[in-house]
């Protein structure tokens, strides 16, 4: 199977989307599935271009043994839909901005929480506002496990 190129997207690309990028990469490595995924992340705003991830994100990843090195924030790019197989948003606003810029792409662009519809979460809460990086990581981890399951069984 070809490697699935996945771009996670949030507003500023310093909290949720880099967390998802590194969590999925880590989960794939733990399961011996690194050959199936290539991960990256971006923001819809570009407010933090060139910056590292938020300290809370970095600390939460490290607390769970997830390497958080080599990250630099960036804004989504016009060529992203051609390069990535999946572009996964963290909330409705992110998805709406992706659709505004790239058009509707069902099956290619969707919200991360769409993968676990019975979770009670309609979006990944932004810890920039909530301060709860633990909750954000727990939701992202559950969604990434489901994403990896679907990729490995060829249903996505």
Are 51 and 15 contacting, i.e. CB atoms less than 8 angstroms apart? no
pLDDT tens for 45-95 read: 989 999 999 999 999 999 999 999 999 999 999 999 999 999 999 999 999
Active site residues: 10, 16, 126
Q: Helix, strand, or coil here: 110?
A: strand
Sheet containing 109-111: give its strands across. Answer: 37-43, 4-10, 86-89, 109-111
Q: Helix, strand, or coil here: 7?
A: strand
The Cα angle at residue 24 between residues 21 and 26, in degrees rounded to 5? 105
pLDDT tens for 105-131 read: 989 999 999 999 999 999 999 999 999
Strand-pairing partners, residue 6, are 39, 86
pLDDT tens for 124-154 read: 999 999 999 999 999 999 999 999 999 998 8
| Mean pLDDT of the 16-45 span | 97
């Amino acid at each position: 199977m070809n490697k699935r190129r996945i771009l996670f997207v949030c507003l500023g690309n310093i909290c949720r989307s880099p967390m998802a990028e590194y969590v999925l990469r880590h989960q794939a490595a733990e399961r011996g599935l690194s050959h199936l995924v290539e991960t990256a992340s971006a923001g819809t705003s570009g407010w933090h271009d060139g910056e590292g991830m938020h300290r809370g994100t970095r600390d939460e990843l490290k607390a769970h043994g997830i390497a958080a090195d080599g990250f630099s924030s960036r804004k989504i790019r016009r060529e992203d839909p051609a390069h990535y197989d999946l572009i996964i948003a963290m909330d409705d606003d992110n998805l709406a901005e992706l659709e505004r810029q790239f058009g509707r792409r069902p099956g290619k662009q969707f919200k991360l929480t769409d993968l676990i519809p019975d979770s009670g979460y309609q979006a990944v809460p932004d810890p920039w506002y909530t301060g709860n990086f633990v909750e954000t990581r727990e939701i992202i981890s559950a969604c990434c496990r489901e994403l990896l399951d679907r990729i490995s069984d060829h249903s996505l």
